[in-house]
Structure 1
Amino acid sequence: MRTSYYFTGTALAILFLFPLLWSGWASVRTDTGFGLDNYVRLFSSANGIRAAHVLNSVIVSALTVAGTLVVSTSAGYAFGRFRFPGRDLLFLLTLAILMVPYATILIALYVLLGWLGLEDSLVGLSLVLIVFQLPFSVFMMRNSFEAVPIELEESARVDGCSSFGTLVRIMLPAVRPGLVTVGLFAFLASWSEFFAPLILLNSTGKFTAILAVVNMRTASHGSIDYAALEAGVVFMAVPCLVLFAFLQRSYVRGFTSGALKG
């Protein structure tokens, strides 16, 4: 039985790692052998990645992660610890956002951002990404808070802590794995998001790195520069892999310590 588990796990690992390994191999393969020519072309081409594109991606990801953590933590704490009229209905409505394909309402959101004066802005893009992260994030944080023994909170309040003080000093350290999981998901979604920036951003100076990689696809005579594209894929994947490697222990605990309970 254990051998079958190992075999299945190995097969799945190969299946998921093969595209990334192929991209890594293709990104260093040249006509004369192997080298970094594809990466040089990715960053030196007129349509390639610039420092501004990377900075835009970092700004959008940071705003999305910060906004998602603040809203989902506050909402998750309220849903998990307080009783108020319409609580369950409001929670179900929040989860119902998952059933709406976000691509179908991007045009409406684009118009809404125009009314708010946030069209073609990184802040507006971040707000849209935060909205679509909230269902999963609120669900995760609510269950994370519910997994914490109520006695910890009661002891803090007996000692004179307010609700906010209890949240900051007692509850947040207790739900750290859930926070890491929510933050990691928000980063991965915002860093690699393509469709929303494509619709919501018009100025090339505000393009994110993923849009710059797609612009790199056209070489001379309309051909596709696959080698530069693969270099772009690897460049976009490296931050995700590094971040996951550092946070994987807390990430796994976020799923196994009651974060998805109930």
Structure 2
Amino acid sequence: MSGSSTASRWGHHITGTALAILFLSPLLWSGFASLRTDTGFGLENYARLFTSDNGVRPHHVLNSVVVSALTVGATLFVATLGGYAFGRFRFPGRDVLFLLTLAILMVPYATILIALYVLLGWLGLEDSLIGLSLVLTMFQLPFSIFMMRNSFEAVPLELEEAARVDGCDTVGTLVRVMLPAVRPGLITVGLFAFLTSWSEFFAPLILLNSTDTFTTTLAVVNMRTASHGSIDYAALEAGVVFMALPCLVLFAFMQRSYVRGFTSGALKG
């Protein structure tokens, strides 16, 4: 029995290591290619990324930070309220409304970007970071509300009832008792919203027109052409690594809460 248990454990380790290498190999190759130059290895590709005429500028990075911050904030706010309502309150049509919210996931967002572009034009938000953030938030909400509903449902009802007995109203119970209890879910939702908004390319490509509002992804793609129409792959790889670093750092610091957020409600009942 001990031998089969050891073999099973080693099998899990080997499988996990193989999958990790498989998924990390493209990023490791990008890191290697971003440092490789004609004369050896160095940071020349990164210097060219930030100093070339059509390269990445500080305001491009700032635009990405602003879009990511607005998307994360709006997603957390709406998903928290929506998840709390779906998870704790009983009202007519609750299940139908929740299913309709999830049904948005079945709509390919690329098919409605043109309609959203026209809508943002009517609202005076075309070619704006706020408009882009609203669109990205809308695409994040179905999954985020689903996650937060599961997180709230995993919290024991007695905890909420004790807060009501102590005199907390609905808002007070949510802020003082429920939010600390669903912290892993909040981190998971926020991390997903950041990863999507930071690395999104297609939506900014359609919704942003001027270079002043370009995000980092658009700036990196915009500098892909070098002399005589050739593609500067080395600078592109440097851009890929630069954009991946914040995501890797955030995930490294939050991976424990991220995993807990995904398992919230899995053992409920």
Q: Same fold (TM over 0.5)?
A: yes
For 1:145, the equivalent position in structure 2 comes to 152
Counting only pairs closer than 5 Å after superposition, residues 1-262 of structure 1 correspond to structure 2 as: 1-258=8-265
Q: Number of residues paired by the alignment?
A: 262
Give a deviation string over 1:68-122, Cα, whole Å, max 9, x none.
0000000000000001111111100100000000000000000011111111100
Q: Which AA in structure 2 matches 1:257? A: S
- Report the Cα distance in structure 1 between the residues aligned to 2:60 and 2:218, rounded to whole angstroms: 8
Matched AA of 1:238: L
Unaligned runs of 5+ residues in structure 1 are: none
3-state SS in 2 of match to 1:118 = coil
Determine if contact 1:140/1:182 at 8 Å carries over to the other structure. yes
- CA–CA separation in structure 1 for the residues paired with 2:205 and 2:266: 33
Aligned-partner SS, 1:48:
coil
Q: Give the secondary structure class of the aligned counterpart of 1:217.
A: coil
1:55 partner letter: L
Query: 1:150-195 CA distances to partner (integer Å, 9 max, x unpaired)?
Result: 0000000011100000000000000000000000000000000000
Give the secondary-structure state (helix, strand or coil) at the position aligned to 2:231. Answer: coil
Distance 1:260 1:13, change over 3 A: farther
CA positional deviation for 1:257: 3.4
Report the aligned-residue RMSD. Answer: 1.1
Mapped to 1, the partners of 2:267 and 2:73 lie a distance apart of 22
For structure 2, list consecutive stretches of 5 or more residues without a partner in the other structure. Answer: 1-7
The amino acid that maps onto 1:186 is A
Distance 1:97 1:106 in 2: 14
Query: How much identity, in percent, do the aligned residues show?
Result: 84
CA–CA distance in structure 1, aligned partners of residues 222 and 65 of structure 2: 19
TM-score between the two structures when normalised by the length of structure 1: 0.98
Judge conservation of contact 2:150–2:264 (CA < 8 Å) in 1.
no
> What CA distance in whole angstroms lies between the structure 1 residues aligned with 2:33 and 2:268?
42
**Partners of 2:49 and 2:128 in 1: CA distance:** 25
**Alpha carbons of structure 1 residues 236 and 43: separation in structure 2 relative to 1, 3 Å:** same
Cα distance, 1:197 vs structure 2: 0.2
TM-score (norm 2): 0.96
The one-letter amino acid of 1:155's match is A
